[in-house]
């Protein structure tokens, strides 16, 4: 079922308009892979509805492509309506192909933690709740797992947020592309109410807070 944005999502119990997820400017990763020429690499990240996370990373310099999908569960259950039960082990995720000569894995993590989602929310983001909306990094190798652990430790030590980071690191999990109608959803549906309220502010925050990684022309 496609998400809709009702008045109940826009207004809190007191009838006051709810704010979109907060964003912060996180520090540059102290421990990072060097930016160098090499083969195209892959990052898989989960932070709530994949529409917004995909839309953010489509505007990052050095990113070649972004796909929405599912990670953390089996291939047979990687179906939107089934994942929506919260019982399959999947998280709505994005697969990011990037050029390591133009952007580092640590920079992608910085974008992820700064503007793509709120890493202190357990099994939810904004109006969406359930384990399928958890904050998760799916490292593609031991090096990515090491960098992810180091960056979380750095942010924790810096007390970037008042609440603890709940992001999990789940290695060895395959990524399965989502249905065609989910791909490039933000770019194709910029006036969709859910996108306007929850996701366009994230894209705007990327441009405002991290102008050095911003690309005016989205990939895809």
Q: Give the pLDDT of residue 83.
A: 98
Q: Is the pTM of this model over 0.85?
A: yes
Phi, psi of 114 (to 5 degrees): -85, -55
32 is catalytic: no
pLDDT at 3: 59
Question: Mean pLDDT, the chain, as a whole number?
Answer: 91
How deeply is 38 buried, as exposed, middle or buried, from its count of CB atoms within 10 A (0-12, 13-18, 19+)? Answer: exposed
Domain boundaries, the chain: 7-211
- CA–CA distance, 122 with 209 (Å, rounded to integer): 24
Closest CA to 92 of 66, 72, 77: 72
| 78-129: pLDDT as tens digits | 999 999 999 999 999 999 999 999 999 999 999 999 999 999 999 999 999 9
| Region 129-156 average pLDDT | 98
Residue 7 has pLDDT above 90, yes or no: no
For residues 60 and 111, is the Cβ–Cβ distance under 8 A? yes
Task: Name the catalytic one among 43, 49, 103, 111.
Answer: 49
For the record, the structure tokens of 56 come out as 């953010």
The C-alpha atoms of residue 75 and residue 88 are separated, in whole angstroms, by 10
Check if CATH label 3.30.1060.10 holds for domain 7-211. Answer: yes
Nearest partner of 56 among 2, 134, 109, 121, judged by Cα: 109
Q: Determine how many CB atoms are found less than 10 A away from the CB of residue 169.
A: 14
């Amino acid at each position: 079922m496609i998400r809709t944005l009702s008045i109940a999502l826009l207004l809190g119990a007191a009838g006051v308009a709810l704010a979109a997820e907060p964003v912060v400017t996180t520090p540059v990763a102290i421990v990072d892979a060097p930016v160098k020429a090499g083969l195209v690499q892959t990052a898989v990240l989960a932070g709530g509805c994949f529409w917004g996370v995909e839309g953010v990373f489509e505007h990052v310099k050095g990113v070649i492509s972004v796909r929405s999908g599912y990670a953390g569960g089996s291939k047979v259950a990687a179906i939107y309506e089934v994942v929506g039960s919260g019982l399959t082990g999947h998280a709505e995720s994005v697969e990011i192909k990037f050029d390591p000569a133009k952007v580092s894995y640590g920079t992608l993590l910085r974008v992820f933690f700064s503007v793509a989602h709120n890493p202190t929310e357990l099994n939810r983001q904004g109006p969406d709740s359930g384990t399928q909306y958890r904050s998760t990094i799916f490292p593609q190798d031991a090096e990515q797992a090491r960098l992810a652990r180091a960056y979380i430790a750095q942010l924790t030590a810096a007390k970037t947020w008042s609440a603890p980071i709940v992001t999990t690191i789940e290695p060895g999990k395959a990524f399965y592309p989502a249905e065609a109608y989910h791909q490039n959803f933000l770019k194709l549906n910029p006036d969709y109410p859910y996108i306007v309220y929850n996701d366009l502010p994230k894209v705007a925050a990327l441009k405002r807070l991290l102008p050095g990684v911003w690309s005016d022309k989205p990939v895809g």
